[in-house]
Amino acid sequence: MVPDKATMVPDIDEILSNFEFLDDWEERYRYLIELGRLMEPLPEEARTEANRVKGCASQVWLETRVDQSGEDPRLIWRGDSDAHIVRGLVALMIALYSGRTAREVLSTDAISLFRNLGLSEHLTPQRSNGVRSMVDRIRHDASAALQ
């Protein structure tokens, strides 16, 4: 997987490994916030209505770039949020999906990952809805890249 050069967020395997060592939910929340801080801020010109993720209580933007140079389109995301924990969730999504082919994106189940990490039960219903909105948006972009 090709990492996004605009981020210093660890890859998804390292994030999952780090989560395994964090027993306390306060530590996990702090780690999520730290992941968000590692992301380079989204430039102001990318904070457009087209990039805004609908269905999130916080402001969330995902900018999608499609690399058509290979056999299967590869998608690269950059993102941001105005809320610290949500920004961490955006970083987690980017680590999971960015740099993958459209087919890989469509076959990746982020909701199961969130459930396995215990995030589903520790996020507020509004944040859980926001996560689903981000996943829907990412999957939509991957489907569009294949057409």
Query: What residues act catalytically?
Result: 56
Burial of residue 9 (CB within 10 Å: 0-12, 13-18, 19+) is buried
The dihedral through the CA atoms of 3, 118, 132, 38 has a sign that is: negative
Look at residue 101 and give its three-state secondary structure: strand
Residues 6+ apart with CB under 8 A from 71: none
